[in-house]
Chains A and B, each alone.
Chain A
Amino acid sequence: MEKYLEILNYTIYGAAILLLLIGLYGALTKKSLIKIVLGLSIMDSGVHLLMISIGYLKNGTAPIFSPGHENELAKMVDPVPQALVLTAIVIGFGVTAVALALVIRLYKHHNTLRIDEIKNLKW
């Protein structure tokens, strides 16, 4: 049972990296601007998942000092990644919003969403 849980641990890492790669694949190969933004978002999610899983502790408790539980320090999950991931999610949200705003403007300007047709600036 222990062994399977061990594997499960890695599966979380694996899932996170898989998510990252899926996002990267989407961002690098899809031609539609919307799909690229989606890919970037998925990449972000992958990293967020990775961050959370680093702080994960089996049977851990919330990282809050409360009376009667002072000696459970070892069982607390690491609070830092959680704090970081919250920040990162907010930032990611902001970036996605800006990206979508830009996509809307690009569509108005060029009447297309294909990234390989929006090449006014080059060389």
Chain B
Amino acid sequence: MAAPETPNDSAGPLVATVDLEKQFAGTKALKGVSAQFLRGEVHGLLGENGAGKSTLIKILTGVYAPSGGQILLEGRPVEINSPLDAHRLGFGAVYQDAELVHGFTVGENILLGNEPGGAFVSSGAIHEEARRILGEMGIELDVYRLASTLSAAETQLVTLATLFHRRYKLIVLDEPTARLSAHEVDILFGLIDRFRKQGVTLIYISHRLGEIRRICDRITILRGGRVSATLDHSEITEDRVTELMVAKSTEDLRIENDGFSTGDVVLDVENLSAGNLEPLSFRVRAGEVLGITGPVGGGMEQVARALGGITEHEGRIRIDGKPVTISSPYGSLRSGIAIIPEDRRRQALFPNLSLANNIALPMLENLSRLGLVREDRKSRYAEGIIKRLAVHPDLPALPVKFFSGGNQQKAVIGKWMGAKAKVYIFVEPTAGVDVGAIKEIYLTILELAKAGAAVVLVSSAAEEIMTLSETVMVVHDGQLVHHAPKAECSHDQLLTLSLGGRPKLAV
């Protein structure tokens, strides 16, 4: 490893890490990371799942303590032992799993920990200040609304607003666009530009290369807990980045759904309505992948929630021609529907259970004899799935909370692989998942289809829909605006459709 220079003048980097190391329960997440972040730059941070991105920023923001190495702020070593230390030094972050205080209003959340006034808190002053901040950011939201009533995208915007008014030197954005619509992404990028002009350094973590190229001045690529390379804006090309991230050429990533559908209709949905979703009818044949897209919060999520038995709904659902009633996730599973939800941390995984136990959970009945779970069969079953999905690290006994986002997602998919469901519903299956893992997840989805399952893919990423679907539906404002085989729609048209523009297209 090259010895990092020690800058003393103010022209040096704002923040530098020197041989930063971090160890979790025996696995090394960071193996000596030296990176430099310049004043007023947007610095992209890329890497596969488990490459150490999240660990690195959690160390910078005081959530984890490093096991070795140093952090330099303006050339001087600093100790960051808690988020409070990080705040004092001027480091702030929006985490992937950021949450709001649900019982507080939008305004109270924005100013939490930083309320105007002395010992006494004035609700009026807080909301006035919050309204000013949101106005300056160009976000229209009622500051008196309770955080619990916000959609995922609105939550994300409020989290961003919490950073705006604190005079940070360094701001980390971890997958900030994962839940945002195109319009909201524009708001975010406008905001990033404003920060940059003020001389704030931004570390931008994303898996979307288009965004990285649009917004980042430089990028650092991590691979296996080490810095793989640092590139200038002009050097950011898809081939180069992908190669540095996964050491595989982009050619391998091209996946196409050639169409596996057969004649038999597996899932037949008639006049399904739930929440803001207007009555909707569709059919999915065995082997078919139906992609449902649209703006976040526009109603596409409701399809998955209704079929998964999470939301009350109206309408008729038939599986293999037989009418089924779905009023709970249990009922949904009994009818042969497996759902892979978007929020895996909260809805799909048991963080303290081991990887193997997470994967084998729905199958325990089949892996038991006389009501007792056969440990040997269970581990054999789990190991098979782990191998098939290339979960990394390959440690069945490690609690699943120690795995990176992409590998956790593999675990969730693996959980349902043996369940032999007739219908698989994937909701944003690659949110927060890197290129290498995306490919494996895509292949798994197609494999399920090939084996004869009906697959419903709900995703806001047009590219994902185009890659995997055989049939495409666009739901906007609760209404179906497009429903046709993939061939009848180009990627750009799909994007315009889901953004809310409504070009005259065959419906």
Are A and B associated in one complex?
A: no
Using CB atoms and an 8 Å cutoff, list the residues of chain A in contact with chain B: none
